[in-house]
Amino acid sequence: MKEDRSEMAAKDVELDPRSAAISEPLSSSSSSPAAFNAVVSAGNKSRSCKSSLPVTQPPCPGHVLENVLENVLQFLTCRRDRNAVSLVCRSWYRVEAQTRFEVFIGNCYSLSPSRLTRRFKGVRSLLLKGKPRFADFNLMPPDWGAQFAPWVAATAMAYPWLEKVNLKRMFVTDDDLALLAESFPGFKELILRCCEGFGTSGIALFANKCRQLKVLDLIESEVTDDEVDWISCFPEGETHLESLSFECVESPINFKALEGLVLRSPFLKKLRTSRFVSLEELHRLMVQASQLTSLGTGSFSPNDVPQGEQEPDYASAFRASKSIVCLSGFRELTPEYLPAISPVCANLTSLNLSYANISPDILKPIIRNCHNIRVFWALDSICDEGLQAVAATCKELRELRVFPSDPLEDSESPVSALGLQAISEGCRKLESILYFCQRMTNGAVIAMSENCPQLTVFRLCIMGRYRPDHVTGKPMDDGFGAIVKNCKKLTRLAVSGLLTDEAFSIIGEHGKLIRTLSVAFAGDSDMALRYILEGCPKLQKLEIRDCPFGDVGLRSGMHRYHNMRFVWMSYCRLTRGGCRDIAHALPSVVAEVFGSDVDDDDDNADYVETLYMYRSLDGARKDAPKFVTIL
Partner 1 sequence: MEKVGVCDDFVNLKATELRLGLPGTEDGCEEEKEKVSCGKSNKRALPETEKEIESTGKTEASPPKAQIVGWPPVRSYRKNSFQTKKNESEGQGMYVKVSMDGAPYLRKIDLTVYKQYPELMKSLENMFKFSVGEYFEREGYKGSDFVPTYEDKDGDWMLVGDVPWEMFVSSCKRLRIMKGSEVKGLGCGV
- Which residues of this chain interact with partner 1, rule CB under 8 A? 134, 136-139, 141-142, 194, 220, 222, 248, 331, 354-355, 357, 379, 403-405, 407-412, 436, 461, 463-465, 520-521, 545-546, 571-573, 596-597, 604, 607, 609
Give the residues across from 250 on adjacent strands. Answer: none
Amino acid type, 221: S
Minimum CB separation of residue 330 from partner 1 in Å reads 11
Closer of 101 and 571 to partner 1 (Cβ): 571
Helix/strand/coil for 239? coil
Tell me how long the chain is.
631
Closer of 21 and 139 to partner 1 (Cβ): 139
Amino acid type, 400: L
Closer of 134 and 458 to partner 1 (Cβ): 134
Closer of 182 and 222 to partner 1 (Cβ): 222
List of residues 6+ apart from 575 with CB closer than 8 A: 550, 551, 606, 607, 608
Minimum CB separation of residue 82 from partner 1 in Å reads 33
The C-alpha atoms of residue 373 and residue 384 are separated, in whole angstroms, by: 19
Q: Are 430 and 397 in contact (CB under 8 A)?
A: yes
Minimum CB separation of residue 397 from partner 1 in Å reads 21
Helices (H), 126-218: 149-158, 174-183, 200-209
If we measure between CA atoms, which residue out of 355, 421, 350, 340 comes closest to residue 387? 421
Minimum CB separation of residue 523 from partner 1 in Å reads 14
Minimum CB separation of residue 66 from partner 1 in Å reads 47
Closer of 357 and 486 to partner 1 (Cβ): 357
Cβ-based neighbour number of residue 119 at 10 Å: 24
Positive/negative CA dihedral, 236, 212, 180, 198: positive
Minimum CB separation of residue 85 from partner 1 in Å reads 38
Minimum CB separation of residue 548 from partner 1 in Å reads 8
Q: Judging by beta carbons within 10 Å of its beta carbon (0-12, 13-18, 19+), is residue 183 exposed, middle or buried? A: middle
The C-alpha atoms of residue 110 and residue 145 are separated, in whole angstroms, by: 13
Minimum CB separation of residue 461 from partner 1 in Å reads 6
Closer of 140 and 268 to partner 1 (Cβ): 140
Closer of 40 and 611 to partner 1 (Cβ): 611
Closer of 125 and 596 to partner 1 (Cβ): 596
DSSP single-letter state for residue 524: S
Minimum CB separation of residue 573 from partner 1 in Å reads 5
Closer of 347 and 438 to partner 1 (Cβ): 438
Q: Are 113 and 155 in contact (CB under 8 A)?
A: yes
* Rounded alpha-carbon distances, angstroms, from residue 116 to 40, 129, 338, 356: 9, 14, 49, 43
If we measure between CA atoms, which residue out of 269, 268, 286 comes closest to residue 277? 286
Q: Are 586 and 35 in contact (CB under 8 A)?
A: no
Positive/negative CA dihedral, 514, 520, 521, 524: positive
Closer of 447 and 493 to partner 1 (Cβ): 493
If we measure between CA atoms, which residue out of 289, 351, 288 comes closest to residue 325? 351
Q: Judging by beta carbons within 10 Å of its beta carbon (0-12, 13-18, 19+), is residue 418 exposed, middle or buried? A: middle
Minimum CB separation of residue 377 from partner 1 in Å reads 11
